[in-house]
Amino acid sequence: MLRYSLVSVPNLDYGSALAFCREFETYKWDEENIFDFKKVYNCDPFPMLCVGSKIRKRRIEHSELACKAQNLHNDYATNMRFYRFIGIDKGRQLDLEYGNGNYQPISDLNLLNVLKESRQLNKPVGELVTNISEKLATVLARDDKIVKKTMTFCLREIIRNIPEHSNSLNGWYCAQYWPTKDLVELAIIDDGRGILESINSNYNYASERLTNEEAVIKALQPGVSRTFDNSFDDEIFAGTGNVWKNSGYGLFMVSRICAKTGGSFVLASGDTAVKLSNDSKGKIIYNSNRTSIDGTAIRIQFKISGLSKIKDILTEINEEGKHDRNDGFKTASKASQFDFLD
């Protein structure tokens, strides 16, 4: 008789997704595995990528085992390509470009092609990543120049972190804009080496024997990632003049923009997800959840209305960054500086 396991996929909200990713490590696969999507009614970007990436990887690792799916009734999950992402033949292909002013479905970043194009055109990867980021931002920004510039900056800094710090060229992203909530969410995930291994490659911190949670929190401080060991050619990424050279400011800047505009920033890797936000007094707070993420997952959330004071916010963040750094490198790279036009 054929043995089978039933995997109940949770509602795709933040807490449920992180818990599922942790529990999924204990699931034992049988000859046949049935995925039940009956509980899926929310489909937020970050949970979709975390849960989807977990299932996708396991299916690839056990491609010889049969997998079936039931209760695929969520049309939004179909439109966001969640089912397609995990290998179910439902929804549009991952390499097709589409979306609208409210959402960007799960899409392949295709960084290998970006790297090839960089070499063919003799342009730094950072410049090409900016083009990708601007294109996505244009879809969701709805002709709002400040929103577009903020989203382009945030996406660019996160996307270029993937090859520079994760030593991976595989990444996926998706996004959602909720006008009634005044909220934008962007999510990105890679299958690289993860934050702890990246931090351990930094000669300043290799001897500290950090826990995974400590490493994730430290990665959000200014300057920490600047000396990550990077196997990719610096000149390919930075170009001549080091315009795109990593200064360790990217994650710091993006996370603080999210918090100070009334949103939050999540960095998840290994067994920890850390959410950074502001308390009622404007102080940065960290909240941790246990999970299991292969590589690194990031959630960017900010309030559209909070961008009305973005110039003041950026000035404040820059001053905080200069004050908090202790590595003698007090200035963000030119690419990580965020200068608004009037």
**pLDDT tens sequence across 20-42:** 999 999 888 777 788 999 999 99
The per-residue pLDDT for 39 is: 96
pLDDT, residue 231, reads: 47
Q: Do strands 183-190 and 284-303 pair parallel, antiparallel, or not at all (unpaired)?
A: antiparallel
With contact defined as beta carbons under 8 Å apart, do 196 and 270 qualify?
yes
166 to 116, 160, 196, 252, 336: CA distances (angstroms) = 18, 10, 10, 17, 18
Q: What is the pLDDT of residue 124?
A: 81
Question: pLDDT value at position 111?
Answer: 82
Whole-number pLDDT of residue 100? 66
Q: Other CB atoms closer than 10 Å to residue 186's CB: what's the count?
A: 27
**How many other CB atoms are there within 10 angstroms of residue 339's CB atom?**
9
Angstrom distance (rounded) from CA 247 to CA 226:
5
Q: Which residue bears the tokens 């999924």?
A: 24
Residue 213: per-residue pLDDT: 93
Domains belonging to the chain, first-starting first, are 4-85 (3.30.750), 103-336 (3.30.565.10)
Residue 21's nearest CA partner among 282, 324, 325, 268 is 268
Asked if 192 and 229 touch (Cβ cutoff 8 Å), the reply is: no
**pLDDT of the residue at 240:** 43
pLDDT by residue, tens only, the chain of 342 residues: 556 788 999 999 999 999 999 999 988 877 778 899 999 999 999 999 999 999 999 888 888 878 889 999 999 999 999 999 999 988 777 665 666 678 889 998 888 888 888 888 888 877 888 888 888 888 777 778 888 899 898 988 888 877 767 777 788 999 999 989 999 999 999 988 899 988 888 777 777 888 999 999 998 988 775 444 444 444 444 444 444 454 568 899 999 999 999 999 999 999 999 999 999 888 899 999 999 999 999 999 999 999 888 888 988 888 888 766 544 444 555 555 555 544
Minimal CA–CA distance to 110: which of 89, 123, 129, 127?
A: 129
